[in-house]
Amino acid sequence: MSSTFLRYIAQRVVQCILVIFIGITITFLVPRFSPTDPVEAAVNRAMMMGQYSHPDAVRMMKEALTKMYGLDGTLGQQYIRFWKGLLSGDLGPSLSSFPKPVMSLIRTSLPWTAGLLLVSAIISWTVGNLLGCLAGYFGNQRWSQVIGMIAMALHPIPYYIMAFVLLVALAYVIPVFPIGGAVDIGLKPSLGWIYISSLLRHAFLPALSLVLIGVGGWFIGMRTLVTNVVAEDYVTYAKYAGVSDRTIMYQYVMKNALLPQITGLAMQIGLIFNGALITEYVFSYPGLGYLAYNAIFTGDYSLIMGVAIFSIVGVSLAVLLIDLAYPLFDPRVKYQ
């Protein structure tokens, strides 16, 4: 391993840590500087529910809430306390599901989001690039132009519209798929077929809505990249030498055209993540997005912060992973 390779890794890791640190700090600061006081808001909500409150009780409630949110003491003290809690895995209790800790809520939601996101990101990246490569390589063929037109039409559709259309079409009008949830109610997690099939049936529409849009984007990018690589001298040279079409397409064209798409994946992860959050809400899929929506709806500050922090960490780590894997595909980065 050369020192440039180590420097490459060190650089990415430091960058990732920095991004996470800044992101979490902003998450810490936003509620503290936002015009709505979370304590005030929570008290108002409690009063609106019609409970009679003695002014003393209100004061005590305020104090308790302030402490619970970690809003007592100076900003510096709060910040240190915040990091201490975070590093020991304590994000405080959730207000909407009191006294459940935020951490445990996130723990049950995270796998759903991670699963949905990972699977649909991988599928759309693979399918989009494969189709884009074929379309770029056989650019003047009819089918490639048809796929191109479909991709162009799909790509600009917002995630929530796609999700909504699929839901209405395939869960209400033609009810082939369930309208929401992650598995049929009452099923115990197991590796049996009943559980797995229920899981797949529930995940299908949310995943499809993410994949359809994702495929369009990767397809368009890849097709352009491939048309450029096809015109490279080394492709012409290999063609003239009689190297088989198959080898040229995979080893000469695709491998080179994919490089920017790998970097592109790292840049798109954040966007896909946001898309997944919206999609989850439309399909009542019990992941982080659904959790976030409920947290916003009920004004559950600690839960909002918890979801935000996990999003930042998750997206940053995914980007780091892709960045670290990049030299495996491009020999020019590894040594030099």
Residues that bind other proteins (CB under 8 A): 232-234, 236-238, 240-244, 247, 251-252, 255-256, 259, 329-332, 335-336
The least CB distance from residue 32 to other proteins, in Å, is 49
Residue type, 323: D
Smallest separation, CB 279 to other proteins (Å): 35
Q: Which is nearer to other proteins, 173 or 241 (CB)?
A: 241
**How far, rounded to the nearest angstrom, does the alpha carbon of residue 94 sit from its chain's CA centroid?**
23
CB closer to other proteins out of 74 and 336: 336
CA dihedral 203, 207, 208, 214 (to 10 degrees): 180
Q: How far is the CB of 333 from other proteins (least distance, A)?
A: 10
List, as one string, the DSSP characters of 51-87: ----HHHHHHHHHHHHHHTT--S-HHHHHHHHHHHHH
List of residues 6+ apart from 221 with CB closer than 8 A: 128, 132, 260, 261, 264
Q: How far is the CB of 124 from other proteins (least distance, A)?
A: 24
| Closer Cβ to other proteins, 55 or 331, answer by number | 331
Q: How far apart are CA 168 and CA 118, in angstroms?
A: 25
Least distance in Å: CB of 251 to other proteins? 6
Shortest CA distance to 144 belongs to which of 154, 152, 132, 157? 132
Provide the minimum distance between the beta carbon of 321 and other proteins in the complex, in angstroms, as a whole number. 21
Q: How far is the CB of 247 from other proteins (least distance, A)?
A: 6
Q: How far is the CB of 242 from other proteins (least distance, A)?
A: 4
By beta-carbon proximity to other proteins, the closer residue of 143 and 234 is 234
240 or 297: CB nearest other proteins: 240
- Kindly state the DSSP code that residue 157 receives in the 8-state scheme: S
How many Å apart are CA 35 and CA 32, to the nearest integer? Answer: 8
Could you give the CA distance from residue 320 to residue 254 in angstroms, rounded to a whole number?
23
- Using alpha carbons only, how large is the chain's radius of gyration in Å? 25
Minimum Å gap between C-beta 231 and other proteins is 11
Nearer to other proteins, 195 or 329 (CB): 329
Cβ contact 251:137 at 8 Å: no
Q: Mind giving me the DSSP string for 258-314?
A: HHHHHHHHHHHHHHHHHHHHHHHHHTT-TTHHHHHHHHHHHT-HHHHHHHHHHHHHH
Determine the Cα–Cα distance for residues 310 and 163; give it in Å rounded to an integer: 24
Complex with other proteins: residue 142 or 332, whichever CB lies closer:
332
Q: CA–CA separation, 192 vs 68, rounded Å?
A: 42
Closer of 76 and 331 to other proteins (Cβ): 331
| Cβ proximity to other proteins, 1 vs 241, nearer residue | 241
